[in-house]
Amino acid sequence: MPMTRAAQAVAFVLAAALPLPALAERSDDDILHDSLTLVFDDREPARQALAALVEDGDGRLAHTLITAMRFSPVPTDELQAALRDLTGAAADTWFDWMLWQERAAAPPLHPSYADFQRALYARIDPRFADFLPPGVAHEIRLEEIVWGGVRVDGIPALTNPDLIAAGDAAYLRAEDLVFGIEINGDARAYPLRILDWHEMFNDVIGGVPVSLAYCTLCGAGILFETTVDGEPFVFGSSGFLYRSNKLMYDTATRSLWNQFTGRPVVGPLTGSGIELTIRPVAITAWGEWRGEHPDTRVLAPDTGYQRDYRPGAAYSTYFASPELMFPAVLYDDTFAAKDYVFGIRAPGGAKAWPLAAFAGGAVINDSVGLIDVVLVGDQATRTVRAYRRDGIRFAAAGDDLDRLIGDGRTWTVTEAALVADDGRTLPREAGHVAYWFAWAGYLRDAEVFVPGQ
C-alpha cells in the first residue's frame, strides 16, 4: 500500500463527496446517530455528540470512539479524555488505543457498532458495505478491522498477467529480488518491485491455479493453491487490514480472508473450515533465479497499470524502518518486530527460523512438528528453501549451496526436491518469509529456532 495512505486518511474521509446514508436506513438508535455525527459532522456538532456518548457512560462505546479517532473533527486529546472516562485506561494515540483494544479484556461491542462501522466505511467506498452487511458472520473482532487508506481494489491484483522470456526482461537488474516459483516444471519469476504495488496475483502455474498473497506490511508473500471443491477462487485486496495484515477477498462470495492463515474470517464462508493449501515459494535474486532456471518466464513490466516500478519506489521508507505503519501487538520479543523469519507449518506443529541464522549462506538440520527438515538459505537474498530429510544430516558440498552431502551421497538442490546421485528424492516443504511480529501474532504456539541454543 502506498506510503501516503495513512497521512491522507482523515482528509480523504472528510472531503468525500459521497452522500451520507440516511440514518433511517441504518438505525433510529440515538447512540448510532451520535456516533455518525461524531465522524461526519462539523466540529461543534461532533463535540456535542461526543459529550452525549460520554454522558451515556457505556464502556462498550470505547470501540466506537477508537474507530472514530482517525476520522472525527474533534481534537484527539478530547477523544482521548472521553476514552479515559469510559474505560479507565490511558493511551496517547489511535495506534496506542488499538493496541490496548487488542491486548485488553475489552468490553463487548455496543449493538450500534456494526451499523456505525458499515456507514463509516461506506462513506469512503460504498463497496466496503458489501463486506460488512448486517449480521455478517465473523471470526475476528470487527473493531480490529481498520481501513488501510485505499478503496476496494485500490491496490489492484494482477490476474493472469502477461509474462515474458528471461532474455526480454531488460528492466530487471541481477540483484532485484523476485518471488521464484516452479510447479510441474513451469518456472516463473514475479519481481517484488512490481508486486510491492499489487500485493496479489492470480495465475495458473504448471496447470495449478494459485494466488500469491503478498502483505507488504508484514513482509510475507504466501503462495496458496486456490482450488476448493473443484473451483478456483480469485482474490483481490479489500482495502481493509487486521493487525497490520491485509484482508484479501474472494470475488465469488466477497468474504474477507486472513492473508496469513488462508482462512475466510468475515462473510459467507466464515466457519466453512476452508484453509488454503500453501505451496513452496522462494524469494531470491533475479540473477540467481535466471541462472538456475534459464527457461523461466517473468512478469512483464507492462501490467496495464500506471505505477512506478523502479527499485525502491514503493515502501522503501517502511521497509527500512523498525516501526510498524499500523497497529499490531508484538506477542513475543525473542526478535525485533520487523526481523525477518522463515516459517513452516507442518503436521504436528509450526516453527520459525530467523533469517539472521542464514547469514553468509547456511544449511540447518532441524525438525518441525512431526517431520525432520533441512533448510538451505542465504540471508543476503532473503532466500530459504526447506526439504524433508528423513533423519539424514546434510552439509553443504560447496560455497554456492546448490549441492549437499548427506548419507554418503551428493544431493542436488532443486525447486521440487533434493535429488541424490542414486536417484532418491526428498520433497520440498512449503514455507515463507515474514516479519516476526506477524508470525508471532498469528502462530503464537509455534516453536522458534534460536541460534546458539
Q: What is the mean pLDDT of residues 412-427?
A: 98
| Position 153 in a domain | no
One domain, residues 227 and 282: yes
Residue 8 confidence (pLDDT) above 80: no
Give the pLDDT band of residue 179 (cuts 50, 70, 90).
very high
292 in the same domain as 351: no
Q: How confident is the model at residue 452 (pLDDT cuts 50, 70, 90)?
A: confident
Q: What total number of domains does the chain contain?
A: 3
- Residues 9-57 have pLDDT tens digits of 433 333 333 343 333 332 337 999 999 999 999 999 999 999 999 998 9
Same domain flag for 100 and 210:
no
190 within some domain: yes
Q: Which domain holds residue 44?
A: 19-125
* Cα–Cα distance measured from residue 240 to residue 122, given in angstroms and rounded to the nearest whole number: 12
Tell me, yes or no, whether 119 and 164 share the same domain: no
Same domain assignment for residues 69 and 166: no
pLDDT-based confidence at residue 453 (cuts at 50, 70, 90): low
Residue 92, C-alpha cell as written in the block: 496517547
CATH of the domain at 217: 2.102.10
Ranking 18-22, 311-315, 368-372, 390-394 by mean pLDDT, the lowest is 18-22
Cα 207 from Cα 22, distance rounded (Å): 49
Examine the domain organization and report whether 281 and 382 are in the same domain. no
Same domain membership, residue 114 and residue 163 = no
Per residue in 269-323, pLDDT tens?
Answer: 999 999 999 999 999 999 999 999 999 999 999 999 999 999 999 999 999 999 9
Residue 242 included in any domain? yes
Asked if residue 422 belongs to a domain, the reply is: yes
Question: pTM surpassing 0.75?
Answer: yes
Question: What is the C-alpha to C-alpha distance for residues 297 and 293, in angstroms, rounded to an integer?
Answer: 9
**Domain-ending residue, one of 81, 101, 125:** 125
The β-bridge partners of 210 are 203, 225
Q: Is 280 in the same domain as 170?
A: yes
Residue 352 shares a structural domain with residue 402: yes
C-alpha cell, 372? 525432520
Indicate whether 171 and 282 sit together in one domain: yes
Say if 200 falls within a structural domain: yes
Q: Is 112 left (phi over 0), alpha (psi -120 to 50) or beta?
A: alpha
Check whether residue 232 and residue 295 sit in a common domain: yes
Q: Judge whether 420 and 324 are in contact, CB under 8 Å.
A: no
Please give the grid coordinates belonging to residue 72: 472525527
Inside any domain, residue 317: no
Are 175 and 286 found together in one domain? yes
Q: Of 125, 145, 166, which residue is a domain's last?
A: 125
